[in-house]
Amino acid sequence: GRPLLEGVLYKKGTGSSLLGRRNWKKRDVKLVPRSLDKFGDDVGPALEYWQGRPARLHGTVLLDGCTVSIPQRKDLHHVTRFFFDVEHRAWAGRREFYSPSVIERDAWVKAIEEAAAAYAGTVEALPPVQRARRRSSIKDARDAFEAAGDGDADAGDDESAAPTAGSGDAFGDAGSDAGSGDAFGDVPDAAGDRPMERAAEEAAAGREVRGLALLAPPGLKVLKHCRHARPHSCFVRLDVHNAHLVWTKKRKQSEQGSVNISEITDVTVGLSTAVLARHGYLENAGCYLSIITRFRTLDVECETGAVRDDLAAAIDFLRDHTDL
């Protein structure tokens, strides 16, 4: 099913790889409502780690029986980040994460806790025999994921990869993905896989083209979320001559608001801003998109996740080609 939450997190290696490294790595993470074992049985919600282009699944962590905590620490060379840990009695240690904002961290903690609690209630409601069988399936699946090992450390990568003041990458992640593994059973990316890379590039280009078509007048109809008002429908379109994104309440209405494309600092998805963290719904997280500037955010809800992805690709393309 559709992820309950998805976004970028930074994860610390567990130190169980051959090199035993404990460096932080950037990962695309999805919280999925159900994961299947090798027999096709539902073994509950899970965190999935994806990496590379095209995106490839690098690890899965089952959340049944897990607890989430927010530690009080700053161990990234005095750079403040927002940590949370996921723990299970079957593990030798904890799984450590951080988010670049407290809003994202709290959204992940809440979503993981709610997903784990909901599944635990479902399992407890089963008849005793079925419940015992389900618990056995979960244990076997967890053991299988754990047995895959921890390959999160790269050759030549060490704790200095953690962010430091004045480093080239805000999170110290530059160059860390080459040949990397994952703390939950990563395997290195296949080398020289050019056909797959070309396919990914073509898919990305297709999203950009579709997104730009959506922004052509009269624009794309979305649901705009506001800080102090109820969500309302509006149309977002591209003003080519002035290089602005503009929005109106109706197709032919005069401009209600706009943002210069050159002022856009980021495009995020999911419950990633204060407005959506407060007013959004986890079940709709796959349709949310936020356009970030220094002074404000434009938070919209698209009709589908596919439309959201096309729109995000188009805006990223416009940000990279402001001279067009």
- For the CA atoms of 310, 314, 316, 318, the dihedral, rounded to the nearest 10 degrees, stands at 180
Range list of H helices, 5-48: none
Could you tell me the sign of the dihedral formed by the alpha carbons of 2, 4, 9, 11, in that order?
negative
The Cα 276–Cα 233 span in angstroms is 16
3-state DSSP percent of the chain in helix, strand and coil, to 5: 30, 25, 45
Q: Residue 86's beta-bridge partner residues?
A: 68, 95
What pTM does this model have? 0.47
| Each residue's pLDDT expressed in tens, for the chain with a length of 324 residues | 688 898 888 888 765 544 445 577 888 899 998 888 777 788 889 888 887 677 777 778 888 888 898 876 544 443 456 888 898 876 656 788 888 778 888 889 999 999 999 988 988 888 988 888 888 888 888 777 766 644 443 333 333 333 333 333 333 333 333 333 333 333 334 334 445 445 556 666 788 889 899 998 889 999 999 888 889 999 999 988 888 999 988 766 666 789 999 888 888 888 888 899 888 888 888 899 999 888 888 999 999 988 998 998 888 888 877 655
C-alpha distances out from residue 294 to 118, 160, 265, Å: 38, 30, 7
Cis-peptide into 195, omega within 30 deg: no
Q: How many CA atoms lie within 13 A of 253 on its CB side?
A: 13
Q: Residue 222's beta-bridge partner residues?
A: 234
Contact 9, 29 (CB under 8 A): yes
